[in-house]
């Protein structure tokens, strides 16, 4: 197999992106793991395949695979990257594309940034999903001294812990157990957040299927929504991640807007062994 790919990233959360709109490509879990491997493959947090659109009026169907091979329904940083690619391709300031979670719309933001309407935040226990009925504003989940996260779905599950000092959280120690906690039948992404002001949040992430990443767009959306639900911030706030800052706004109609940068690092080819050249 020889396929051209783009290496892109949003705030250091990096992707291998394949355009499969003309030539189909459905990777197996093992192929994704081989491509994502940073020692022997190209290396990435998520592997993105842009397929032909299913819904009329949209430009493509984005399928998202975590580094561990699992397929998921949302990725905020990759949505900005794919939105930017589609806008560039069409010479337009707006692009619509779909994911397993629904149709998303990207627009050009200030200073080369991209804004994506990530759709509605989902807050009901069965939309996260959780193992059973629960108050998503304060879950009965505890591990390693951290307790009571807010659960939010942005098309993918998030558990947001508010802490005094996000920098001090031993992410690599507590992340795996929380990702696999029995409360989350589909596992979860885990965020630790410190509210710095009503318009600024510091957040670090342990991503389901990828571990610690520099940034998680859907996690930033979930964190802002969780902070607003707890009455901690305004409806628009900057979320400061290890890789940089995203601006998140939770609209009155329930949709979440995410604005941030996009970067294109290089183009390569996947060789038969799925390493890059």
Ligand X SMILES: N[C@@H](CCC[C@H](N)C(=O)O)C(=O)O
Summarize the annotated binding site for substrate as residue ranges. 13, 46, 66, 76-77, 156, 189, 207-208, 217-218
Q: Which is nearer to ligand X, 44 or 95 (CB)?
A: 44
Helix, strand, or coil (residue 65): strand
Q: Which is nearer to ligand X, 63 or 229 (CB)?
A: 63
Min dist. Cβ of residue 11 to ligand X (A): 8
Exposed / middle / buried, residue 56 (Cβ in 10 Å: 0-12, 13-18, 19+): exposed
Q: Which stretch binds ligand X (CB under 6 A): 21-29, 128-136, 163-171, 211-219?
A: 211-219
Sign of CA dihedral 216, 218, 221, 225: negative
Note whether 49 and 36 are within 8 A (CB). no
To the query of whether residue 221 is one of the catalytic residues in this protein, the response is: no
The residue assigned the tokens 């699992």 is: 70
Binders of ligand X among 133-192, rule CB under 6 A? 156, 189
Q: Which stretch binds ligand X (CB under 6 A): 29-37, 81-89, 208-216, 243-251?
A: 208-216
Min dist. Cβ of residue 91 to ligand X (A): 26
Q: Output the six-digit token pair for 176.
A: 């795996």
Q: Which is nearer to ligand X, 3 or 80 (CB)?
A: 80
Min dist. Cβ of residue 109 to ligand X (A): 16
To the query of whether residue 75 is one of the catalytic residues in this protein, the response is: yes
Note whether 236 and 249 are within 8 A (CB). yes
Min dist. Cβ of residue 167 to ligand X (A): 20
Task: Report the DSSP pairing between strands 13-19 and 46-51.
Answer: parallel
Binders of ligand X among 75-104, rule CB under 6 A? 75-77
Binders of ligand X among 2-41, rule CB under 6 A? 13
DSSP 53: P
Q: Output the six-digit token pair for 28.
A: 């197996």
- Residue 247 as a binder of ligand X (CB under 6 A): the answer is no
Sign of CA dihedral 120, 59, 12, 74: positive
């Amino acid at each position: 197999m020889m396929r051209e790919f783009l290496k892109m990233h949003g705030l250091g959360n990096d992707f291998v992106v394949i355009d499969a709109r003309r030539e189909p490509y459905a990777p197996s879990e093992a192929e994704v793991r081989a491509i994502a491997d940073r020692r022997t493959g190209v290396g990435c947090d998520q592997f993105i395949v842009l397929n032909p659109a299913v819904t009329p009026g949209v430009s493509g169907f984005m399928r998202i695979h975590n580094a561990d091979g699992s397929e998921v329904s949302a990725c905020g940083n990759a949505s900005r990257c794919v939105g930017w690619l589609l806008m560039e391709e069409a010479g337009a300031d707006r692009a619509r594309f779909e994911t397993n979670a629904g149709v998303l719309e990207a627009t050009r933001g200030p200073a080369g940034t991209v804004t994506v309407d990530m759709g509605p935040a989902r807050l009901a226990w069965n939309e996260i999903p959780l193992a059973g009925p629960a108050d998503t504003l304060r879950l009965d989940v505890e591990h390693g001294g951290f307790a009571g996260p807010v659960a939010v779905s942005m098309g993918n599950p998030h558990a947001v812990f508010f802490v005094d000092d996000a920098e001090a959280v031993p992410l690599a120690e507590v992340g795996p157990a929380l990702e696999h906690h029995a409360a989350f039948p589909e596992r979860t992404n885990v965020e630790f957040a410190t509210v710095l002001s009503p318009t600024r949040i510091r957040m670090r992430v342990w991503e389901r299927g990828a571990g610690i990443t520099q940034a998680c767009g859907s996690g930033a959306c979930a964190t802002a929504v969780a902070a607003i639900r707890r009455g901690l911030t305004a409806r628009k706030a900057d979320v400061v991640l290890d890789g940089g800052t995203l601006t998140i706004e939770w609209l009155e109609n329930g949709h979440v807007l995410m604005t941030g940068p996009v970067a294109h690092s290089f183009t390569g080819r996947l060789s038969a062994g799925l390493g890059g050249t």
